[in-house]
Amino acid sequence: MANELRFDGRVAIVTGAGQGLGRAHALLLASRGAKVVVNDLGGSATGGGKNSEAADKVVAEIKAAGGEAVANYDSVEDGAKIVQTALDHFKRLDIVINNAGILRDTTFHKMSEQDWELIYRVHVLGAFRVTQAAWPHLRDAGYGRVIFTSSAAGIYGNFGQANYSMAKLGLVGFARTLALEGAKKNVFVNVIAPIAGSRLTETVLPKEVTDALKPEYVSPLVAVLCHESCQENGGLFEVGGGFLSKLRWQRTEGVRFKLGRNITPELVQSHWERVTDFEKATFPADITAATQPVLENLGTKSRGGNEFIDADAALGYELPPITTSYDERDLSLYALGVGAARDPLNPKELRFVYENHAEGFQALPSYAVVPAVNAVLKLVAEGKQAPGLNYGLDRVLHGEQYTELLRPLPPHAKLRHQGRIKDIFDKGKNALVVTEIRTFDAATGEELVRNELTTFVRGAGGWGGDRGPSSDINVPPERAPDAVVTEKTNENQALLYRLSGDWNPLHADPEFAGAFGFPKPILHGLCTFGHVVRHVLKTFRDSDGRYFKSIKVRFAESVFPGETLQTEMWKESDSRILFRCKVLERNKVVISNAAIELHTELPKARPAPKAEAQAPVAGNPGAAQGSVSASVFAAIRGYVEKHPELVAKVNNVYLFKLTSPESTWTLDLKNGQGSVTQGAAGKADCTLELTDADFLAMTSGKADPQKLYFGGKLKVAGNVMASQKLNFLTKIDPREVGASSAPAASAEASKAEAPKADAPKSSGPASAPAIFKSLQERLAKSPELAAEVSALIQFKLTSPEGAWTVDLRSAPGTVSEGTQASPTATLTLADEDLLALAKGAATARELYQRSKLRVDGDVRVAHRLGFLKHLV
């Protein structure tokens, strides 16, 4: 066969080769051209006696088949003699297969010291002495393949084989270390855990099974691992009966307690499920990966906790992102729920509940808290809670609330919420948990709202943690308030407010409320919150919600629906109002330590945020374009081309896995000429994982790789020693980085300037100018039209935007572009819908019913638009 794996010129030692597995290994290697030292003491399966017959017989078989072999009868404890036999007869050594073994099976309580000692001497000490004698010859030759023979008993344990299990697993650790030490000299070490019919298995398996488990099913794997083409190193393989597989260690995600935490047996027991849960398992491949969690934890400091709150686990946890939406109906329902438009004829508050208000519909700014709270309640309903927060709704109250609007809320929007546990404070008997939620416009990415929900958790404090900031903030002065607003809530106020999404039965179910010691359901704290926002806006900004900037309150006492709220306000400055709210019937302060920030002038509309370019990097779809690391690797490529001596000096393949943004790069300094490619190419000797920013800091010399590693910011897998050969990266001229990125930047700029073939076409020129020109001509011919309408009409057009005024208060009437003060009615519609009116293809009534025409002011004007028909 052209691709047959051959061992011509290679010399192999196989211990315990007189029968069973060793014999099969020796015969197979010899048949493929290897010269074999057939070692076998010729003792019994339990280690007694000595006989040369077994080894001689195998040697004879090999020679009869045309191969070369020599017998050796020494004990593996005399490993140097076995190695010397190979050197004396064949002048070299390439392969060592440690296979010799015996059994001394007995239960541990019956096991003698001799049983233990003899197993150790044959399996462990013998393998050590053979391999140690061979090691310098393999290193000096720059080539070697070593196999150790373990067992399922060593990996998993087995009844009656404590001594054997000890020895066989010991060989695994022995081999893994040799694999690391021999790698740079091309000496690879692997372990097999075979199951085959032999004198060692015939005592524990039925005869029909041992007969079927032929040693010949194991030897092909050994041959592959011993071949010069095989790059496997440090592996552990199960093999037998036609089955072959590789094993690796698996570790649970585990639990990390930050340093300084009082780690008690009870604390460990309470986290036992996470300690033993393999759902998020990892597979540490080396001691670096094994110690990584410990090293990362060394830089931590515990914030403490107890059975209800584990501050270390919870702090900083990012809640799963949630998307919600609202429209004018939701805003109107909310405003009614917090008492707005109690007087339906009040035009100032009517704009919070009527979408076609003449002065424009507004979102009551306190609504900004509702989507955020509903997002949290949705997670609670789904059973999703931050790790370390082990309490239910029965323990919590809404303690404090901070809400900030970055701009007035639009009348409808789709929102994306990002939350995290920002702070946890120990208040003695109780605790406070602060959840920060940032809300974004899902369509544009613009940040709209920032909320901080402070949850008061009853009976969850007392661990001696941070008490948080002083509670004496936003305290009103010792003088009469500057303004007072008194308002009685409705008996069904809680039932109305809960339609905005707060489903807590404490606010609706009398039995549920009674179970918690309340005579009846209580009003939502955020319902009271909405009332006081209205009171302050009414007093200081004429109920115009656009002036609202932020609010912070503390909920001090429950309110019952039907009670009377009294908001007392102190003007600290033109922009800051201190206030508190009382329930008059019980003379209880229900909102304290409260302040509102107001704009002194209407905030200007922000320009729409520009979408960031996210063109994928070639070869790495999904990576953000513009990662500076790309130019660094381009500079590395140039450096390697100028310094070809690096290939022979370093002789390793490196895989860089970068994050924020993600990218993967391969630096191959082993392929003869050196190369840098994006993505994972081939098998890496050393893998480095770090952020893009830390990679740049490391290559520029601003960050010490060792400090990054011990700080948990750099993860190294594979050949750890190879990572120390990367110091040449700091020698790259920073100017080369800039130069390498210039062509790419120029190319991207050219792409940006070039028109896109699939760009959407313009909607075309506006129809309005031609329509209103025709209208002016019609009015000149028919001056009686002005008397029929008798109104000043403002047209606000969209898509494209425009404004026109038609003055029909006197004949013959005038048409002008732009706006005029105090129109009788303002009609807002799209340019194409104006064209439909002018063509007679649609009526004003039809457009209004389909929400394509908005009428502000005198609605009757919309019934007198016949003068527009058939203008075009």
Structure tokens that stand for 183 in this block: 């790698």
Answer whether the bond into residue 661 is a cis peptide, omega within 30°.
yes
Report the alpha-carbon distance of residue 91 to residue 645 in Å, rounded: 34
Q: For the chain, what's the residue count?
A: 872
Between CA 689 and CA 691 the distance in angstroms is 7
Residue 164 bears catalytic tag = yes
Contact between 102 and 203 under an 8 Å Cβ cutoff? The reply is: no
Residue 438 CA to residue 448 CA, distance in Å, equals: 8
Contact by Cβ (8 Å): 132, 79:
yes
Give the span between the Cα atoms of 254 and 561, in whole angstroms: 48
Question: Is the CB of residue 644 less than 8 Å from the CB of residue 670?
Answer: no
Residue 193 pairs with which residues in a beta bridge? 238
Measured distance CA(370)–CA(84) in Å, rounded:
83
Q: What does the block give as tokens for 534?
A: 């209205």
| Helical residues (DSSP H) of 452-556, grouped into ranges | 493-497, 510-515, 525-540
- Amino acid identity for residue 759 in this structure: A
Range list of H helices, 142-188: 152-156, 162-182
DSSP 299: T
Distance CA 852, CA 207 (A): 88
Which DSSP helix (H) or strand (E) runs through 594?
Answer: strand 588-598
**With contact defined as beta carbons under 8 Å apart, do 423 and 400 qualify?**
no
Give the chain's end-to-end CA distance (angstroms, integer): 87
Q: What are the tokens at 37?
A: 């030292």
Structure tokens at 525: 């704290």
Pick the catalytic residue from 73, 164, 367, 639: 164
> Which stretches of 541-656 are DSSP H helices?
628-642, 645-650
- Give the distance between the most distant pair of CA atoms in the chain: 132
For the record, the structure tokens of 622 come out as: 């999904």
- Beta strand residue intervals within 260-326, DSSP E: 322-326
Contact (CB, 8 A) for 312 and 334? no
Distance, CA of 218 to CA of 150 (rounded, Å):
13
In degrees and rounded to multiples of 5, residue 95 shows phi and psi of -135, 135
382 Cβ contact list (under 8 Å, min separation 6): none
Whether the CB-CB separation of 62 and 27 falls below 8 Å is answered with yes
Which residues are marked as active site?
164
